Amino acid sequence: MANLLVLNGPNLNLLGIREPGHYGQTALLAIDQKLIDMAEQSGHQLACFQSNSEQEIIEKIHQSFEQIDYIIINPAAFTHTSIAIRDALSGVNIPFVEVHLSNIHAREEFRKQSYFSDIAQGVISGLGAEGYELALQYIINKLKFKLK
Are 105 and 125 in contact, with CB atoms under 8 Å apart? Answer: yes
Catalytic member of 23, 70, 115, 132 = 23
Contact positions toward ligand DQA, by CB under 6 A?
Answer: 11, 74, 76-77, 79, 100-102, 104, 111
Catalytic member of 44, 70, 100, 132 = 100
Considering only CA atoms, which of 14, 4, 7 is closest in space to residue 116?
Answer: 7
> Min. distance of Cβ 42 from ligand DQA in angstroms?
24
Active site (annotated) includes residue 138? no
> Min. distance of Cβ 145 from ligand DQA in angstroms?
29
Active site (annotated) includes residue 23? yes
Catalytic positions are 23, 100
